[in-house]
Amino acid sequence: MNLANLLVRAGRVFPDNPAIAHGDQTWSTYAQLAQDVAAMGSMFVEALGLKPGERVGLFMGNRPEYIEILYAAWFAGLTVVPINAKLHPKEAEFILLNSGARYCFTSPEFGESLSAINESFDAHIRLIDVSSQEYRILKRGDRSAPMHASAPDDVAWLFYTSGTTGRPKGTMLTHRNLALMALCHLADVDSVDQEDCVIHAAPMSHGSGMCNFAHVIKGANQVIPSSGHFDPQEMFELCRIHRGASFFAAPTMVKRFVDYAKQHAPDFRGLKTIIYGGGPMYLEDIKDGLDVLGNRFAQIFGQGESPMTITFLSKFHIGDSSHPRYEQRLGSVGVAHSILEVCVADEEGKPLPAGEVGEVLVRGETVMKGYWQNPEATSATVRNGWLHTGDMGAFDKDGFLTLKDRCRDMIVSGGSNIYPREVEEVLLRHPAVGEVSVVGRPSREWGEEVVAFVVAAPGMNISGDDLDRLCLGNIARFKRPKEYRFVDDLPKNNYGKVLKTVLREKLNDEAEPVGAGR
């Protein structure tokens, strides 16, 4: 089983179908893309000297080359390491070095930022600019080269997710994991026709990129916005040009999209489905979206350890407004995917009955192989075959899961995961910071935003501007605190542990109501 076979098959079955579009222009057909992928795959082996199982990184924004590189790497039996383009270069450097990647594909601005933080970077990892002649030469390989015979449990996608220890963990996703994820999409979330398309406006290193498989299976088009990112006006224009358009979006993106539609009344007849996930969608926001755009929504709940697949809320359920528990369902994250077991369990891992709150556990073929070179974290997260998600929730009697809270401290802001420990470690580098605790505050715009409670070291003075500069020099902009609160001390229990619950309660009490549901 090799994911590249999905593309090889599409090249035969749908040779003339557009495979990738850049804005309104076809960039490649499936026949052309399959040939280029085979040529590049052969050059990865012959010219770059890469061996099956070795890693290649991708640190760039959304571009047509992204899909090309993914499938060429799998064709050669390699593991891809897609890196969030919003990360700070130092964070990207850690991921590349930790994964042992030998090459990293970048666009000019990202390659320059990596080289700027480490002049000897090329001594460890070779950077290849996708706009360069060096990259174009890779397409001159043997187009008749055989595809590597990858095993189902070979690692295809090494996805780095923030860890509670402050360092990201590499989630090992296999060819089997991702193939079954794609089939779950087609069976449960949304059907795909060969004349449809997916618009990649959210980062392709995450959920949007993982939507590609279902569309390749069906010979559908992958549309990359000319801007390379999410812009509501551009998205509506693309939905006018391309029929059967769907896209994956975090709730903040959905809200911006809906607000634009309310203000400008654009033509959206080509829009088929908005798949939302990655954070809470408040009840009033999804209702607003339905009023403005109609029943074009589907929801997924997943995490890096079971990508895009834990539960789903289908268009049918989102549109079934006559059901007596419609609002409760609309505020839920839906029902378990067809091939997965999902339960809510107590602290001992025993399943709880409907209505009782516990940790959400998942078992099935989409659950990760484990964490890269981290057996301790793997054992702590996957126990007795069950993935412990760290999310607290409850099922109703019909099998709809409603999330209540997280038993870990992760903050979800604008669809991106932020772990407080990671931010705290950076802030504690400042000599004037004695103690710090980072928590999330409810935000109408972002879902949550980062707030840092800071205790100055004895006799020291510090400002928010000082800490902002420190954060901007070491972590991604979206992770830095929106507010610094300077306090005399932090609330602690008898054992000296900071009581983050007290800090969160303080912020929650101050916050304006932001709606219900998730």
- 308 Rama sector, left if φ>0, alpha if ψ -120 to 50, beta otherwise: left
Domain assignment of residue 271, yes or no: yes
Final residue in a domain of this structure, among 395, 419, 447 = 395
Query: Cα 353 from chain centroid?
Result: 31
The tally of CA atoms less than 13 A away on the side-chain side of residue 54 is 15
Same domain for 479 and 337, yes or no, is no
Segments forming the whole domain that contains residue 177 = 4-395
**Mean pLDDT throughout 449-457?**
94
Q: How confident is the model at residue 206 (pLDDT cuts 50, 70, 90)?
A: very high
Angstrom distance (rounded) from CA 482 to CA 462: 16
337 and 258 both lie in a single domain: yes
Cβ within 8 Å of residue 322, ≥6 positions away = none
Q: Model's pTM, two decimal places?
A: 0.85
Task: State the amino acid at position 338 in one-letter form.
Answer: S
**Domain match, 442 and 387 both:** no
DSSP 3-state of 293? helix
Confirm if 171 and 160 have CB atoms less than 8 A apart.
Answer: yes
Our count of domains for the chain comes to 2
CB-CB contact of 471 with 90 (8 Å) = no
The residue behind tokens 């895009």 is 308
Domain of 462, CATH number, reads 3.30.300.30
Mean predicted confidence (pLDDT) in 511-516: 46
Q: Which residues contact 373 (CB under 8 A, 6 or more apart)?
A: 98, 170
pLDDT at 26 over 70: yes
Sheet strands (E) in 133-291 = 155-161, 169-174, 197-199, 221-224, 245-249, 271-276
Residues 454 and 493 in one domain: yes
Q: How many helices (H) and strands (E) does the chain have?
A: 19, 26
In a domain, 405, yes or no: no
The pLDDT value recorded for residue 517 is: 34
Instruction: Out of 369, 395, 421, pick the residue that ends a domain.
Output: 395
What share of the chain has pLDDT > 70, as a percent?
94
pLDDT above 90: residue 279: no
Residue 351 CA to its chain's centroid (Å): 28
Q: Considering 395, 419, 450, which residue would you say is the last residue of a domain?
A: 395
User: Do residues 376 and 462 share a domain?
Assistant: no
Which of 18-32, 131-145, 180-194, 417-431 shows the lowest mean pLDDT across its residues?
417-431
- In terms of domains, do 156 and 268 share one? yes
Give the range among 6-10, 148-152, 277-281, 427-431 with minimum mean pLDDT.
277-281
Same domain, 222 and 255: yes
Supply the pLDDT for residue 495. 47
How many angstroms separate the CA atoms of 91 and 110, rounded? 12
Q: Provide the token pair at 141.
A: 């390989």
CB 113 within 8 A of CB 104: no
Which two three-digit tokens encode residue 39?
A: 């040529």
**pLDDT (average), residues 256-280:** 92
In a domain, 315, yes or no: yes
Same domain, 430 and 340: no
Indicate whether 494 pLDDT > 90.
Answer: no
Residue 401 lies in a domain: no
Q: Three-class SS of residue 24?
A: coil
30 in a domain, yes or no? yes
Cα–Cα distance between 248 and 495 in angstroms, integer? Answer: 44
Q: How far apart are CA 145 and CA 41, in angstroms?
A: 8
Spatial separation of the C-alpha atoms in residues 317 and 188, rounded to whole Å? 12
Q: How confident is the model at residue 420 (pLDDT cuts 50, 70, 90)?
A: confident
Same domain, 91 and 159: yes
